[in-house]
Structure 1
Amino acid sequence: MVAVELIGGLGNQMFQYATAKALSLHRNEALLLDSRLFDNYKLHSYSLKHFNIDASVVKNDVPLKDRSIPKKIIDKLLEKADALTLHNRIFKNYQEKELLFDENLFKTNKKNIYLKGYFQSEKYFLKYQDEIRKDFEIVTPHKKETADMLKIITAENSVSIHIRRGDYISNPNANAVHGTCNLDYYHRAIEIMREKVNHPVFFIFSDDIDWAKENLNIENTMYFVDFTDASTNYEDIKLMSSCKHNIIANSSFSWWGAWLNRNKNKNVIAPSRWFSTDMLNSKDIIPESWMKI
């Protein structure tokens, strides 16, 4: 069995799930999602329930049964005090040591492996991208505003722009690690898109949409997506991935919006500096086909 610890925002959860799903397919083993850390995590909540995911989820030590894992197997794994936390008794830990892709993950023969980390590289799951893309189809019904915006996006040479601020600004620790993409980055990216795309229409997504409205001036037609919030951020993923091209922030959230974009001729622009600190190596995060500026 492959189990994975889920933590962080939606983008992080998607990376963790995608890697665990790829490993479970590689090993032909069942998949178990451990979402219990969200029980005491105020910043984010478990958000994968909105996707087409068929896996057992452990919450408050109570597993939810699905078709892939018989209940008696899960009950056996969890029959002792707190089986998933006693990793050395049932699961063997795999702790991500750094952000670089580790090909050894797929070579290990440990039984009942438990993944802990962020796994921010498509190299972990690119082989199984068809399955991953299917799993990340949204099953929760869209809001009317989202459905209406999707019609506009699909009818235009749409370019998504994601501006991540939020805790990157308000939290000193997050700011020290991540920083934010400045306006110069976005202006340069917009100019590149205007050169590459005929009559681009820009769709702006942000966790600080008022700041974006005040600071982002584009001559082309643009739409500010201001009708979603943290509780429906999965709809932003849908909208961004439906755009034909993408300008992303240094954020796993817009990374997934661009990666799930099925346009074979898409242009994706990403910041060349993913972290504000040189202590973290981000070379495996951005796919080679994307442009870094």
Structure 2
Amino acid sequence: MTTFHRNLLKALNRVLADKNLAVIRNEGGLASQIAFWALGYEFAQLGYKVKFDNSWFKASGLDINGLFPRNFDFPKAFPSLSIDEASVFERFILKKLNNFREGDLNDVTAPVYLGGFYDRWKLVQKHREHLYENFSPDSVYFSEKDIEILAQIKRDENSCGVHVRRGDLASDHPDYGKSLQADYFLRAIDEIRTRRKDPCFYFFSDEPEWIKSNIVENLGPEIRHVVVDSNGSDRGFIDLYLMSRCHSFISSQGAYGKYARILGDPSRLIIEPSSQALFDKDDANVIVLEV
């Protein structure tokens, strides 16, 4: 760090109300928001005053293709967890003068604007227990259909939550790999059926009609299934809660299936695609299918 940079940070600390301030850029779907919260929680444990820049949700708030909304749903999913918002001045001045976008987070010096993505998955796992204990959407958000499905999932000892990410990942993506077609999900369903007696598959997706046409049509009459199509993108946090109550999971390239396991029981069986496999491959309850 240069002398100029060191003096600049000292000057910023004098004009900012909060010392050791770290402003974290927040964006993306609920899984991404959870990961940014985990980053903030980690920094708070280290003595930083953490605030968030949530301006992306007003300025953009859409998926990669600009089609499906990405709402700021973290407060609805985790009402007891604080996520203080930075002022316009705080985020503007720090973003301009000390924007730490990449590198070793151990090298961060406050006051700072954290404008990158970093390796947040490890932090989500590290703070899983705290997230699990506070994952409690208010009952006002649950429709009668949601309550009915939740009760059914809880009754069924072999419920399997299947997340089918379509939308912006319906085509190949440089960061997420090849798009997953029906074949992957049908193979995963067969894999679950070899390990669980008479499982019931609960499908969650931003394109439920695609599931009905491409997956359900290829299921035998003996395979129990429910396509959960009552919640749109604006109620994805309810779908995540319902899925997290399942007893096994099939994940797509997207993070919802993985986060459902994290926010439910992380020892439960999960199947992941090789293009986006995040869990420990030595875990006997983690199956990675080649795609």
TM over 0.5: yes
Which letter does structure 2 place at the counterpart of 1:40? A
Matched, 1:55 2:83: yes
Aligned to 1:18: 38
How far apart, in 2, do the equivalents of 1:225 and 1:120 lie?
Answer: 31
**CA 1:88/1:191 → structure 2, altered by over 3 Å: closer, same or farther?**
closer
Aligned to 2:248: 245
Identity of aligned residues (%): 22
**CA 1:19/1:183 → structure 2, altered by over 3 Å: closer, same or farther?**
same
Tell me if the contact between 2:132 and 2:264 (Cα under 8 Å) persists in the aligned partners.
no
Which portions of structure 1, spanning 4 or more consecutive aligned residues, are displaced by more than 6 angstroms? none
Q: TM-score, normalised by structure 1?
A: 0.77
**CA 1:14/1:128 → structure 2, altered by over 3 Å: closer, same or farther?**
closer
Which letter does structure 2 place at the counterpart of 1:269? I
How far apart, in 1, do the equivalents of 2:180 and 2:153 lie?
Answer: 24
Find the residue that maps to 1:185 and give its secondary structure: helix
Q: How does 1:1-293 map to 2 (within 5 A)?
A: 1-25=21-45, 27-43=46-62, 44-50=70-76, 51-52=78-79, 53-58=81-86, 61=88, 82-87=89-94, 92-96=98-102, 104-105=104-105, 107-108=106-107, 110-119=109-118, 121-139=120-138, 141=140, 142-156=142-156, 157-169=158-170, 175-178=173-176, 179-216=178-215, 217-219=218-220, 220-262=223-265, 264=267, 266-274=268-276, 285-288=278-281, 289=283, 290-293=286-289
How far apart, in 2, do the equivalents of 1:163 and 1:88 lie?
Answer: 36
Q: CA deviation at 1:32?
A: 1.1
How far apart, in 2, do the equivalents of 1:111 and 1:121 lie?
Answer: 19
Q: CA deviation at 1:126?
A: 2.9
**CA 1:183/1:89 → structure 2, altered by over 3 Å: closer, same or farther?**
closer
Tell me if the contact between 1:15 and 1:118 (Cα under 8 Å) persists in the aligned partners.
no
Structure 1 stretch displaced more, 136-145 or 207-216: 136-145
Tell me if the contact between 2:35 and 2:124 (Cα under 8 Å) persists in the aligned partners.
no
Question: After superposition, what is the alpha-carbon deviation per residue over 1:55-113, rounded to whole angstroms, capped at 9, x for unaligned?
Answer: 31247x3xxxxxxxxxxxxxxxxxxxx221221677x433136xxxxxx42x3361234
Determine which structure has the larger helix proportion and give its number.
2
Aligned to 1:71: none
Report how many residues are paired. Answer: 250
Which stretches in structure 1 are left out of the alignment for 5+ residues? 62-81, 98-103, 275-282
Tell me if the contact between 1:20 and 1:115 (Cα under 8 Å) persists in the aligned partners.
no
Q: TM-score, normalised by structure 2?
A: 0.77
Tell me if the contact between 1:248 and 1:258 (Cα under 8 Å) persists in the aligned partners.
no
Which letter does structure 2 place at the counterpart of 1:136? F
Question: After superposition, what is the alpha-carbon deviation per residue over 1:222-244, rounded to whole angstroms, capped at 9, x for unaligned?
Answer: 00101000111100100111101
Find the residue that maps to 2:244 and give its secondary structure: helix
Which stretches in structure 2 are left out of the alignment for 5+ residues? 1-20, 63-69
Question: After superposition, what is the alpha-carbon deviation per residue over 1:215-267, rounded to whole angstroms, capped at 9, x for unaligned?
Answer: 11333110010100011110010011110100011002332122212263x10
**CA 1:88/1:187 → structure 2, altered by over 3 Å: closer, same or farther?**
closer
RMSD: 2.4
